[in-house]
Protein backbone atom coordinates (compact mmCIF):
# COMPACT_ATOMS: atom_id res chain seq x y z
CA UNK A 1 0.00 0.00 0.00
CA UNK A 2 1.45 3.33 -1.02
CA UNK A 3 0.87 6.92 -2.03
CA UNK A 4 2.77 7.70 -5.24
CA UNK A 5 3.24 11.12 -6.85
CA UNK A 6 3.94 11.52 -10.58
CA UNK A 7 5.29 14.83 -11.84
CA UNK A 8 6.29 16.05 -15.27
CA UNK A 9 8.26 18.72 -17.04
CA UNK A 10 8.05 20.52 -20.36
CA UNK A 11 8.52 18.46 -23.50
CA UNK A 12 5.14 16.66 -23.39
CA UNK A 13 6.26 13.77 -21.17
CA UNK A 14 2.81 12.14 -20.90
CA UNK A 15 2.21 12.14 -17.14
CA UNK A 16 -1.57 11.64 -17.29
CA UNK A 17 -1.41 8.90 -19.93
CA UNK A 18 1.24 7.10 -17.91
CA UNK A 19 -0.83 7.47 -14.75
CA UNK A 20 -3.90 6.00 -16.47
CA UNK A 21 -1.90 3.05 -17.79
CA UNK A 22 -0.65 2.39 -14.25
CA UNK A 23 -4.15 2.77 -12.78
CA UNK A 24 -5.62 0.17 -15.13
CA UNK A 25 -2.67 -2.20 -14.65
CA UNK A 26 -2.03 -1.83 -10.92
CA UNK A 27 -1.82 -5.18 -9.07
CA UNK A 28 -4.77 -5.40 -6.70
CA UNK A 29 -5.46 -8.02 -4.08
CA UNK A 30 -8.99 -8.77 -2.95
CA UNK A 31 -10.51 -5.86 -1.04
CA UNK A 32 -7.94 -3.33 -2.21
CA UNK A 33 -8.49 -0.34 -4.46
CA UNK A 34 -6.40 1.96 -6.57
CA UNK A 35 -7.24 5.66 -6.70
CA UNK A 36 -5.84 8.08 -9.29
CA UNK A 37 -6.21 11.75 -8.41
CA UNK A 38 -5.73 14.37 -11.12
CA UNK A 39 -4.09 17.15 -9.14
CA UNK A 40 -2.60 19.17 -11.98
CA UNK A 41 -3.25 22.88 -11.28
CA UNK A 42 -3.19 23.48 -15.04
CA UNK A 43 -6.32 21.37 -15.40
CA UNK A 44 -7.27 17.72 -15.73
CA UNK A 45 -7.47 15.83 -19.01
CA UNK A 46 -9.39 12.62 -18.34
CA UNK A 47 -12.97 13.93 -18.34
CA UNK A 48 -12.65 15.17 -21.91
CA UNK A 49 -9.97 12.68 -22.96
CA UNK A 50 -10.50 9.07 -21.93
CA UNK A 51 -14.13 9.73 -20.90
CA UNK A 52 -14.93 11.91 -23.94
CA UNK A 53 -17.01 14.40 -21.97
CA UNK A 54 -19.71 11.83 -21.23
CA UNK A 55 -19.92 12.80 -17.55
CA UNK A 56 -19.86 16.57 -17.98
CA UNK A 57 -18.40 18.42 -15.02
CA UNK A 58 -20.35 16.63 -12.30
CA UNK A 59 -17.17 15.19 -10.82
CA UNK A 60 -13.88 16.74 -9.83
CA UNK A 61 -11.72 18.78 -7.52
CA UNK A 62 -13.84 21.90 -7.94
CA UNK A 63 -16.69 20.18 -6.11
CA UNK A 64 -14.36 19.24 -3.25
CA UNK A 65 -13.53 22.91 -2.79
CA UNK A 66 -17.22 23.64 -2.24
CA UNK A 67 -17.59 20.65 0.10
CA UNK A 68 -14.58 21.74 2.16
CA UNK A 69 -16.17 25.11 2.84
CA UNK A 70 -19.28 23.29 4.08
CA UNK A 71 -17.32 20.89 6.30
CA UNK A 72 -18.35 17.91 4.13
CA UNK A 73 -14.97 17.09 2.57
CA UNK A 74 -14.57 13.42 3.55
CA UNK A 75 -18.01 12.31 2.41
CA UNK A 76 -17.81 14.38 -0.76
CA UNK A 77 -14.44 12.85 -1.67
CA UNK A 78 -15.87 9.37 -2.18
CA UNK A 79 -18.83 10.73 -4.15
CA UNK A 80 -16.46 12.41 -6.60
CA UNK A 81 -14.69 9.19 -7.59
CA UNK A 82 -15.44 7.65 -10.99
CA UNK A 83 -15.03 3.93 -11.50
CA UNK A 84 -12.87 3.24 -14.56
CA UNK A 85 -12.39 -0.47 -13.85
CA UNK A 86 -14.01 -1.35 -17.16
CA UNK A 87 -12.56 1.67 -18.94
CA UNK A 88 -15.93 3.31 -19.58
CA UNK A 89 -16.38 5.45 -16.51
CA UNK A 90 -19.53 3.68 -15.35
CA UNK A 91 -20.14 2.95 -11.69
CA UNK A 92 -20.23 -0.84 -11.55
CA UNK A 93 -20.03 -3.15 -8.56
CA UNK A 94 -16.26 -3.58 -8.62
CA UNK A 95 -15.25 0.03 -7.96
CA UNK A 96 -11.63 -0.97 -7.46
CA UNK A 97 -9.95 1.41 -9.93
CA UNK A 98 -11.16 4.90 -9.17
CA UNK A 99 -10.49 8.32 -10.65
CA UNK A 100 -10.78 11.75 -9.04
CA UNK A 101 -10.94 14.16 -12.02
CA UNK A 102 -9.03 17.40 -11.89
CA UNK A 103 -10.17 20.97 -12.40
CA UNK A 104 -11.58 21.83 -15.82
CA UNK A 105 -10.20 25.39 -15.79
CA UNK A 106 -6.77 26.38 -14.41
CA UNK A 107 -8.42 29.43 -12.82
CA UNK A 108 -10.18 27.05 -10.44
CA UNK A 109 -6.85 26.03 -8.89
CA UNK A 110 -6.62 29.34 -7.03
CA UNK A 111 -9.40 28.18 -4.67
CA UNK A 112 -7.76 24.85 -3.86
CA UNK A 113 -4.96 25.83 -1.47
CA UNK A 114 -6.67 24.24 1.54
CA UNK A 115 -8.00 21.36 -0.55
CA UNK A 116 -4.46 20.25 -1.45
CA UNK A 117 -3.62 19.97 2.25
CA UNK A 118 -6.84 18.12 3.02
CA UNK A 119 -6.24 15.74 0.13
CA UNK A 120 -2.73 14.98 1.38
CA UNK A 121 -4.18 14.05 4.78
CA UNK A 122 -6.99 12.09 3.14
CA UNK A 123 -4.63 10.04 1.00
CA UNK A 124 -2.48 9.13 4.00
CA UNK A 125 -5.58 8.08 5.91
CA UNK A 126 -6.94 6.02 3.02
CA UNK A 127 -3.65 4.22 2.64
CA UNK A 128 -3.23 3.57 6.37
CA UNK A 129 -6.80 2.62 7.29
CA UNK A 130 -8.16 1.02 4.13
CA UNK A 131 -5.03 -0.38 2.53
CA UNK A 132 -5.73 1.36 -0.77
CA UNK A 133 -3.02 2.67 -3.09
CA UNK A 134 -3.15 6.25 -4.32
CA UNK A 135 -1.53 7.63 -7.46
CA UNK A 136 -1.32 11.42 -7.76
CA UNK A 137 -1.00 13.06 -11.18
CA UNK A 138 0.67 16.42 -10.53
CA UNK A 139 1.17 17.37 -14.17
CA UNK A 140 3.97 19.73 -15.08
CA UNK A 141 3.55 22.30 -12.29
CA UNK A 142 1.77 20.47 -9.51
CA UNK A 143 4.87 19.35 -7.64
CA UNK A 144 5.57 22.99 -6.85
CA UNK A 145 3.51 25.72 -5.24
CA UNK A 146 0.59 24.92 -2.90
CA UNK A 147 -0.18 21.54 -4.51
CA UNK A 148 3.41 20.45 -3.83
CA UNK A 149 2.28 19.30 -0.37
CA UNK A 150 0.92 16.22 -2.15
CA UNK A 151 4.42 15.30 -3.32
CA UNK A 152 5.84 16.00 0.13
CA UNK A 153 3.39 13.62 1.78
CA UNK A 154 3.76 10.82 -0.79
CA UNK A 155 5.76 7.67 -0.14
CA UNK A 156 7.68 8.25 -3.36
CA UNK A 157 7.86 10.90 -6.09
CA UNK A 158 8.57 10.08 -9.73
CA UNK A 159 9.32 12.42 -12.60
CA UNK A 160 7.98 11.19 -15.95
CA UNK A 161 10.68 11.78 -18.56
CA UNK A 162 11.03 10.98 -22.23
CA UNK A 163 14.57 10.03 -23.17
CA UNK A 164 14.91 12.75 -25.79
CA UNK A 165 17.44 15.57 -25.61
CA UNK A 166 14.73 18.23 -25.34
CA UNK A 167 12.96 16.49 -22.46
CA UNK A 168 16.16 15.60 -20.59
CA UNK A 169 17.29 19.22 -20.68
CA UNK A 170 13.94 20.33 -19.32
CA UNK A 171 13.93 17.60 -16.68
CA UNK A 172 17.26 18.46 -15.04
CA UNK A 173 16.01 21.61 -13.35
CA UNK A 174 12.71 20.01 -12.33
CA UNK A 175 14.42 17.00 -10.79
CA UNK A 176 16.78 19.20 -8.74
CA UNK A 177 13.93 21.42 -7.54
CA UNK A 178 11.78 18.43 -6.60
CA UNK A 179 14.68 16.84 -4.75
CA UNK A 180 15.01 19.98 -2.65
CA UNK A 181 11.34 19.76 -1.73
CA UNK A 182 10.82 16.03 -1.13
CA UNK A 183 14.26 14.45 -0.88
CA UNK A 184 15.13 11.61 -3.23
CA UNK A 185 13.32 11.39 -6.58
CA UNK A 186 13.04 8.62 -9.15
CA UNK A 187 12.27 8.51 -12.87
CA UNK A 188 9.58 6.77 -14.89
CA UNK A 189 10.99 6.82 -18.42
CA UNK A 190 9.03 6.81 -21.67
CA UNK A 191 11.27 5.21 -24.24
CA UNK A 192 10.84 7.55 -27.19
CA UNK A 193 14.39 8.77 -27.73
CA UNK A 194 17.86 7.36 -28.30
CA UNK A 195 19.24 7.50 -24.77
CA UNK A 196 19.27 4.30 -22.69
CA UNK A 197 18.19 4.28 -19.07
CA UNK A 198 21.78 4.30 -17.88
CA UNK A 199 22.48 7.53 -19.75
CA UNK A 200 19.29 9.11 -18.41
CA UNK A 201 20.38 8.18 -14.89
CA UNK A 202 23.81 9.70 -15.49
CA UNK A 203 22.40 12.96 -16.82
CA UNK A 204 19.68 13.38 -14.20
CA UNK A 205 21.62 11.76 -11.35
CA UNK A 206 18.54 9.88 -10.14
CA UNK A 207 17.55 6.25 -10.73
CA UNK A 208 15.30 5.17 -13.58
CA UNK A 209 13.00 2.72 -11.83
CA UNK A 210 10.62 1.77 -14.63
CA UNK A 211 10.18 2.23 -18.38
CA UNK A 212 7.13 2.50 -20.60
CA UNK A 213 7.33 2.12 -24.38
CA UNK A 214 6.55 4.98 -26.72
CA UNK A 215 3.31 3.70 -28.22
CA UNK A 216 1.26 6.62 -29.65
CA UNK A 217 -1.69 4.56 -30.93
CA UNK A 218 -2.21 2.73 -27.65
CA UNK A 219 -1.57 5.93 -25.69
CA UNK A 220 -4.39 7.71 -27.56
CA UNK A 221 -6.86 5.21 -26.09
CA UNK A 222 -5.98 6.63 -22.67
CA UNK A 223 -5.28 10.26 -23.55
CA UNK A 224 -8.08 10.89 -26.07
CA UNK A 225 -10.58 8.09 -25.65
CA UNK A 226 -9.68 6.60 -29.04
CA UNK A 227 -11.31 3.31 -29.96
CA UNK A 228 -9.69 0.52 -28.02
CA UNK A 229 -8.00 -1.98 -30.33
CA UNK A 230 -8.33 -5.69 -29.81
CA UNK A 231 -6.03 -7.07 -27.15
CA UNK A 232 -5.33 -3.58 -25.82
CA UNK A 233 -4.81 -5.00 -22.34
CA UNK A 234 -2.09 -7.21 -23.82
CA UNK A 235 -0.37 -4.40 -25.69
CA UNK A 236 3.26 -3.56 -25.06
CA UNK A 237 2.18 -0.39 -23.23
CA UNK A 238 -0.13 -2.17 -20.80
CA UNK A 239 2.26 -5.06 -20.24
CA UNK A 240 5.01 -2.58 -19.40
CA UNK A 241 2.61 -0.67 -17.15
CA UNK A 242 1.95 -3.83 -15.14
CA UNK A 243 5.67 -4.42 -14.70
CA UNK A 244 6.23 -0.74 -13.89
CA UNK A 245 3.49 -0.79 -11.26
CA UNK A 246 5.27 -3.54 -9.37
CA UNK A 247 8.63 -1.76 -9.60
CA UNK A 248 7.12 1.54 -8.45
CA UNK A 249 5.47 -0.16 -5.47
CA UNK A 250 8.77 -1.77 -4.54
CA UNK A 251 10.55 1.57 -4.74
CA UNK A 252 7.94 3.23 -2.55
CA UNK A 253 8.14 0.43 0.02
CA UNK A 254 11.95 0.66 0.16
CA UNK A 255 11.85 4.43 0.60
CA UNK A 256 9.18 4.21 3.25
CA UNK A 257 11.10 1.57 5.16
CA UNK A 258 14.25 3.68 5.04
CA UNK A 259 12.60 6.91 6.15
CA UNK A 260 10.01 5.18 8.38
CA UNK A 261 7.59 8.12 8.15
CA UNK A 262 4.87 8.05 10.75
CA UNK A 263 2.41 10.64 9.49
CA UNK A 264 -0.10 11.43 12.21
CA UNK A 265 -3.44 12.88 11.19
CA UNK A 266 -4.29 16.09 12.97
CA UNK A 267 -6.84 15.77 15.76
CA UNK A 268 -10.40 15.86 14.48
CA UNK A 269 -9.52 14.68 10.97
CA UNK A 270 -11.48 11.58 10.07
CA UNK A 271 -11.36 9.42 7.01
CA UNK A 272 -14.76 8.21 5.88
CA UNK A 273 -14.60 4.80 4.29
CA UNK A 274 -16.27 4.20 0.95
CA UNK A 275 -19.77 2.92 1.17
pLDDT over 50 at 270, yes or no: no
| Predicted pLDDT at 191 | 97
Q: Pick from 36, 8, 172, 17: which is nearest to 96 by CA? A: 36
Give the pLDDT of residue 53.
Answer: 75
SS (H, E, C) the chain: CCEEEEECCCCCCCHHHHHHHHHHHCCCCCCCCEEEEECCCCCCCCCCCCCCCCCCCCCCHHHHHHHHHCCCHHHHHHHCCEECCCCCCCCCCCCCEEEECCCCCHHHHHHCHHHHHHHHHHHHHHHHHHCCEEEEECCCCCCCCHHHHHHHHCCEEEEEEECCHHHHHHHHHHHHHHHHHHCCCEEEEEECCCCCHHHHHHHHCCCEEEEEECCHHHHHHHHCCCCCCCCHHHCHHHHHHHHHHHHHHHHHHHHHHHHCCCCCCCCCCCCCCCC
Give 213-250 pLDDT, tens digit per residue. 999 999 999 999 899 888 899 999 999 999 999 999 99
Sign of CA dihedral 116, 118, 124, 129: negative
Average pLDDT over residues 42-60: 82
Residue among 75, 135, 82 at smallest CA distance from 273: 75
Residues in the chain: 275
pLDDT number for residue 29? 82
- Domains and their CATH numbers in the chain: 3-259 (3.40.50.300)
Average pLDDT over residues 72-87: 87
pLDDT of res. 3: 95
Q: Which of 36-45, 198-207, 257-266 has the highest mean pLDDT?
A: 198-207
pLDDT above 90: percentage of residues in the chain: 59
pLDDT (tens digit per residue) in 118-175: 999 999 888 778 878 999 999 988 899 999 999 999 999 999 999 999 999 999 999 9
Mean pLDDT of 65-80: 90
pLDDT exceeds 50 at position 266: no
Band (pLDDT 50/70/90 cuts) for residue 89 is very low
Predicted pLDDT of residue 274? 45
On the question of pLDDT at 275 being above 70, the answer is no
The pLDDT value given to residue 5? 97
What is the predicted pLDDT for the residue at 179?
95
Amino acid sequence: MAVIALAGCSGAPGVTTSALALLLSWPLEAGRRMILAECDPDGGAVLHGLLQGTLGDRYGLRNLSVAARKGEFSDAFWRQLIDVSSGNGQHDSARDRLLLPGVTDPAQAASLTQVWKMLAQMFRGIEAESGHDVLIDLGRRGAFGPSGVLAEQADAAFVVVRNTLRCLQAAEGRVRALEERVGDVSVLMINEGPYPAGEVQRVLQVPVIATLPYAPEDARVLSDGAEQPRRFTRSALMKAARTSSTLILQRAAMRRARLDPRVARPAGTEVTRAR
